[in-house]
Chain A
Amino acid sequence: MPALCRDCLETFDDARRCPACRSPRVTSHPELFDLSIAHMDCDAFYASVEKRDNPEIRDKPVIIGGGRRGVVSTACYIARIKGVRSAMPMFQALKLCPEAVVVKGRMDVYVEVSKQVRALMEELTPAIEPLSLDEAFMDLTGTARLHGKPPAVMLARLVKRMRDEIGITGSIGLSHNKFLAKIASDLEKPRGFSVVGAGETLAFLSDKPVRMIWGIGEAGQASLNKAGIHTFSDLRRWEREALHERFGAMGDRLWHLARGEDHRSVKRDRAVKGVSNETTFNEDIASPDLLDGHIWRMAEKVADRLKAKGIAGRTVTLKLKRADFKLITRRTTLPDATQTADRIYSTARALFDRMDHPNPYRLLGVGVSDLIAEDQADREGNLLDPQEAARLKAERATDAIRHRFGSDAILKGRALR
């Protein structure tokens, strides 16, 4: 049976340890060198980056998340042992793991690291479909001749380089379609390398719970359970028509998935639809002045990200969550697209001014969508606001200063509110 050493990348015929370096990190599988659809998932990505940059917290439980009222965005594996999970309210996480070090996320750093990982993936294949900053599908079909090595070896090399060159670890799922690759990458985390071959697909799925299907949340799971479907073998007993009748279009997809079939191809970069930032307050805020400061800060963050990507957008959205959790969104479309904090702010502020005040809010977000290239944005001056051109010029100058001396080098007074 073909086998691969994930430490020295040696390939050999099945053995428990690598004949070359004696490492026990060996992956063997009958179809190992025939499979080419992969899912790469970084291990506790944000937490790993924080541990990499701060050796003092390396052996401590680390939780990434914001504020008292925030939620856990990532927990390291030590914290996970205590039961801390992503999306758990922070107070609950700290009850389970009081000794945890809570770190406020540094999104800009994560984006940077994600780009480095992406660059390594680009060397393997152009067919990359990122799902988020820390995971992506890759299709390596037909690349063996180019690389002179089968996909499995290149993937093992990828995670090895991520560890050696970037300082973070990841897990690989290798299979014959996206659905199975995604399930596989989760099997041996962290630093996993799992293979699901075509020959074993049905047996592999049989006793697995249907909640493994990506996109099936609690509600979907409940409706499946209600129909008596808990595992894939339960699902396989259903006729295709019956599934369709009960679950609509999703029923057809379930029928295929029950057989381990997934015909979706790895889509290169799904186009970004919008850029947004939001913040949950420590305490509900009703003061329009304080909220104004938040609108500015969110607008500035969104503008920073648009500028970093070289894009701009025509639609500005303001999102507010009231103290009673009711979500309010307001949007408007500009005739001339923008990427500047100044125009995003003034548009979001105009949306805010049209709402009922004062009202206590617990969350505020600003977003820009309907995206186009930056060279088609902010091209038309404003007749009614002759100062706008000067302000936009000042913003460009501020950007240059922040670029050179750091993002706190210069701030608007408004940002301090």
Chain B
Amino acid sequence: MKLSIERATLLRAVSQAQSVVERRNTIPILANVLIEAEGESVSFRATDLDIEVVDKAVAQVERAGATTVNAVTFHEIVRKLPDGALVNLTEDSTAGRLTIEAGRSSFQLATLPREDFPVMASTEYAANFTSTAPVLRRLFDKSKFAISTEETRYYLNGVYFHVADSENGKVLRAVATDGHRLARIDTDLPDGAETMPGVIVPRKTVGELRKLLEDDDTQIAVSVSETKIRFAAPDITLTSKVIDGTFPDYSRVIPMGNTRRMEVDAGDFAKAVDRVATVSSERSRAVKMALDEDRLILSVNAPDAGNAEEELAVAYGDEKLEIGFNAKYLLEIASQVDRENAVFMFSSPAEPTLMREGNDESAIYVVMPMRV
């Protein structure tokens, strides 16, 4: 294998691929990136056995071929090369070395044979559809904060991505919950998604996926099977196993009948919650909301540390209500609101509260109150 490639192009491709490589792993080949050159392009493939990323870049290929080198070291070298440099990659298979040359710099890295590199088995996908970066970004960005980190409940360690029935017909939906809060984000069902099986997309995949979605104009081809999901942008393809488990029936826990309605400016609300929570040193800081006729009093009472109170003007016309929440959960849901006011729908101090943006039902959040 012998090729030359522009440094910036190489860096972008390698950095996207190498980030899936598990830093602490005991199998040497999994620390490597597979470089394959053919025709007019070169591809970089990395995997942690659950996720596989393939990045393609344009290159002048003099001699086709493939080899693998340590992903992190390779990435570091490319990162430190001067901007604008032309990089030559030459594989010497008998010596088991890959030479990287740019200007006066020259590096030789040990290689492992490409045959040792695990390539993810291909799957028959049950559904294939196309979406755009902004749509997918909204689905996953607005739900991922609620993903559980509790390893025992592994089926909650991801976003449940599925087709659901809503009042406006079928929608494509992302749901995440850790049992204390829940996010449910809907978008129009793309053509071809009807047959999609519901899958739980792991947390790490959601993080890696984000890198494909930076550019608003990107079209993303999504393929889903019972065991795998694939997101393909023009230059980069991410394939991931999905979590083998059953996502709980979340529809029962979404309180649609809550009647006590409070409307508040989400930004003001978040800042006030953040301020009063400062006095508490507890690990899960409880904030009390006292509501009475267009007035919200936020308070924190930490017997050992101190107390704080702040009053906010809100729209509220129901009977008096006192209810407590984990400050962190309030801040997280409030920060999802970016266009209109936040609307909270309460029931009782012991039952789940619903939050949405204005009257938009396509993104709703449920949060469990906390005893205060």
Q: Which residues of A contact B (CB under 8 A)?
A: 314, 332-337, 347, 350-351, 353-354, 372, 376, 378-386, 389
- Lowest 9 CB-CB distances: which A-B pairs, in order? A350-B152, A379-B371, A381-B368, A383-B253, A379-B370, A384-B179, A332-B152, A382-B179, A380-B370
B248 at the interface (CB under 8 A from A): yes
CB–CB B152/A384 < 8 A? no
Complex CA–CA separation, A78 to B369 (angstroms): 60
Say yes or no: is B153 at the interface (Cβ < 8 Å to chain A). yes
Complex interface: chain A residues within 8 A of B151 (CB): 332
- State how many residues of chain B have any CB contact under 8 Å with chain A: 30
Q: What residue of chain B has the Cβ atom nearest to residue A346's Cβ?
A: B152
Q: Smallest distance from the beta carbon of B182 to chain A beta carbons, Å?
A: 6
Contact at B284–A380, with CB atoms within 8 Å?
A: yes
* Contacts A335-B284, A376-B283 given; does A383 touch B179 at CB 8 Å: yes
- Per the 8 Å Cβ criterion, residues 281-326 of B in contact with A are 282-284, 286, 324, 326
Task: Check if B352 is an interface residue, CB within 8 A of chain A.
Answer: yes
The answer for the CA separation of A378 and B180 in the assembled complex, in Å, is 12
A380 to B152, CA, bound (A): 18
- The answer to whether A381 touches B369 (Cβ under 8 A) is yes
* CA gap between A332 and B151 in the complex, in Å: 7
Cβ 8 A contact of A380, one of B153, B177, B180, B250: B180
Instruction: Kindly state the separation between the CA atoms of A252 and B179 in the bound complex, as whole angstroms.
Output: 52
| Given A351-B152, A380-B370, CB of A372 within 8 Å of CB of B177 | no
Q: Determine if B253 and A384 form an interchain contact, defined as CB atoms under 8 angstroms apart.
A: yes
25 A/B residue pairs, CB under 8 Å, sorted by A: A332-B150, A332-B151, A334-B150, A335-B178, A335-B284, A336-B284, A347-B152, A350-B153, A354-B152, A379-B286, A379-B324, A379-B370, A380-B180, A380-B284, A380-B326, A381-B180, A381-B368, A381-B369, A381-B370, A383-B253, A383-B368, A384-B250, A385-B179, A386-B252, A386-B253
| B64 touches A (CB below 8 Å) | no
Contact mask for chain B residues 350-372; partner A; CB cutoff 8 A; 1 contact, 0 none: 10100000000000001011111
Bits for B234-262, please: 1 = Cβ < 8 Å to A, else 0.
00000000000000101011000000000
Q: Give A115 to B252 CA distance when docked, in angstroms.
A: 49
Report the bound CA distance from A381 to B366 in whole Å.
12
B304 to chain A, nearest CB (A): 9
How far apart are the CA atoms of A221 and B150 in the complex, in Å? 43
A376 to B371 Cα, complex, angstroms: 9
B152 to A381, Cβ gap below 8 A?
A: no
Residues of the A chain whose Cβ atoms lie less than 8 Å from the Cβ of B177:
383-384
Q: Which residue of A lies closest to B182 (CB)?
A: A383
The residue on B at minimum CB distance from A379 is: B371
Bound CA–CA A347/B151 (angstroms): 10
Which residues does chain B contribute within 8 Å of A337, judged by CB atoms?
Answer: 283-284
Q: How far is the CB of B55 from chain A (nearest CB, A)?
A: 34
Q: In residues 178-237 of chain B, which contact A (Cβ within 8 Å)?
A: 178-182
B248: A residues at CB distance < 8 A: 384
Closest B-chain residue to A354, C-beta based? B152
Q: Is the CB of B368 within 8 A of A382?
A: yes
Question: Beyond the given A335-B150, A383-B352, could you list 15 further A-B residue pairs with CB under 8 A, ordered by the A residue number?
Answer: A332-B151, A335-B284, A351-B152, A354-B154, A372-B282, A376-B282, A379-B286, A379-B370, A381-B350, A381-B368, A381-B370, A383-B253, A384-B177, A384-B250, A385-B179
Chain B residues near A333 (CB-CB < 8 A): 150
A220 to B234, CA, bound (A): 64
A335 CA / B368 CA spacing, docked (Å): 13
Q: Which residue of A lies closest to B152 (CB)?
A: A350
CB distance from A314 to the nearest CB of B (A): 8
Instruction: Give the residue name and chain of the B residue nearest to A334 (CB).
Output: B150
Write the nearest CB–CB distance from A356 to chain B, whole angstroms: 16
Cα distance A347–B153 in the bound complex, in angstroms? 9
Interface centre among A336, A353, A386 (most CB of B within 10 A): A336
Q: How far is the CB of B254 from chain A (nearest CB, A)?
A: 9
Q: Kindly list chain A residues whose C-beta atoms are within 8 Å of the C-beta of B369.
A: 381
Cβ-closest chain A residue relative to B371: A379
Q: What is the CB-to-nearest-CB distance from A254 to chain B, in angstroms, rounded to a whole number? A: 37
| Cα separation A333 to B151 with both chains bound (whole Å) | 9
Contacts of B368 in A (CB 8 A): 380-383
Q: Is B152 touching A383 in the complex (CB atoms < 8 A)? A: no
- Which residue, of B152, B248, B372, has the highest number of chain A Cβ atoms within 10 A? B152
Please measure, in the bound complex, the distance between the C-alpha atom of A314 and the C-alpha atom of B282, giving whole angstroms.
Answer: 13
Instruction: Choose from B149, B152, B180, B250 the contact partner of A382 (Cβ within 8 Å).
Output: B180
A379 engages B284 (CB within 8 Å)? yes
Interface string of B149-173 (1 = CB under 8 A from A): 1111110000000000000000000
Q: Which residue of B lies closest to A370 (CB)?
A: B283
| Interface hub of B154, B283, B352 (most chain A Cβ within 10 A) | B283
Q: Which residues of B contact A347 (CB under 8 A)?
A: 152
A352: nearest chain-B partner, CB-CB: B152
Task: Please name all residues of chain A whose beta carbon is closer than 8 Å to the beta carbon of B284 when the two chains form the complex.
Answer: 335-337, 376, 379-380
Per the bound structure, the CA–CA distance linking A382 and B156 in Å amounts to 13
Please, which residues of chain B bring their CB within 8 A of the CB of A336? 180, 284
Question: A372 vs B284: C-alpha distance in the bound complex, in angstroms?
Answer: 11
Q: How far in angstroms is the closest Cβ of chain A from B26?
A: 20
Bound Cα distance from A351 to B179, whole angstroms: 17
Cα–Cα distance between A378 and B153 once the two chains are bound (Å): 18
Q: Is the CB of B180 within 8 A of A389?
A: no
Residues of A near B182 (CB, < 8 A) are: 383
Contact A383 to B153, CB < 8 A, known contacts A335-B180, A372-B283: no
Chain A residue at minimum C-beta to C-beta distance from B253 = A383
| Chain A proximity of B154: nearest CB distance (Å) | 8
A332 to chain B, nearest CB (A): 5
**CB proximity of A386 to chain B, nearest CB, Å:** 7
Q: How far is the CB of B120 from chain A (nearest CB, A)?
A: 24
A338 vs chain B, min Cβ distance (A): 12
The docked-state distance in angstroms from the alpha carbon of A382 to that of B286 is 16
